[in-house]
Amino acid sequence: MNWNKIGRNERCPCGSGKKYKHCCGQNDEWAFDRKELLRGQILEAVKNQLRDGDPPETKQTYDRLLAEGYSEEQVMHQIGSALLCEMSIVLRYQTPFDRKRYASYLNKLPAPPWSEEINTA
């Protein structure tokens, strides 16, 4: 069963014969699980960037936001939002990861990284 790629109007993969939205899709637990999985993966990527020091802007941003009074959890989520923003562009526009663009998102934190026009050139 591939629960990750099911549409609301498709047959439920549980085998009931009902549409997903009238069966297991009524319970938002599956969507919650996927969101939590994605959140965990993004935070793991941020931890890896901090551990490896690559890119160095991640650690610089981490230290700066902590010094500004944000909690470690808030800092991790803010950096994660910048990473997610860059990953979204990579997937949507089929472009390579752009370190400069990602660093610009990090430098603008705590402002939301999506608060400006996206440059994919």
Determine the Cα–Cα distance for residues 18 and 12; give it in Å rounded to an integer.
Answer: 6
Q: Which pLDDT band holds residue 5 (cuts at 50, 70, 90)? A: low
pLDDT tens, 41-52? 999 999 999 999
Determine the Cα–Cα distance for residues 51 and 61; give it in Å rounded to an integer.
Answer: 14
Check pLDDT > 50 for residue 15.
Answer: yes
Name the more confident of 73 and 30. Answer: 73
Total-model pTM: 0.70
Q: Which pLDDT band holds residue 28 (cuts at 50, 70, 90)? A: low
pLDDT tens, 77-118? 999 999 999 998 998 899 999 999 999 999 999 988 776 555
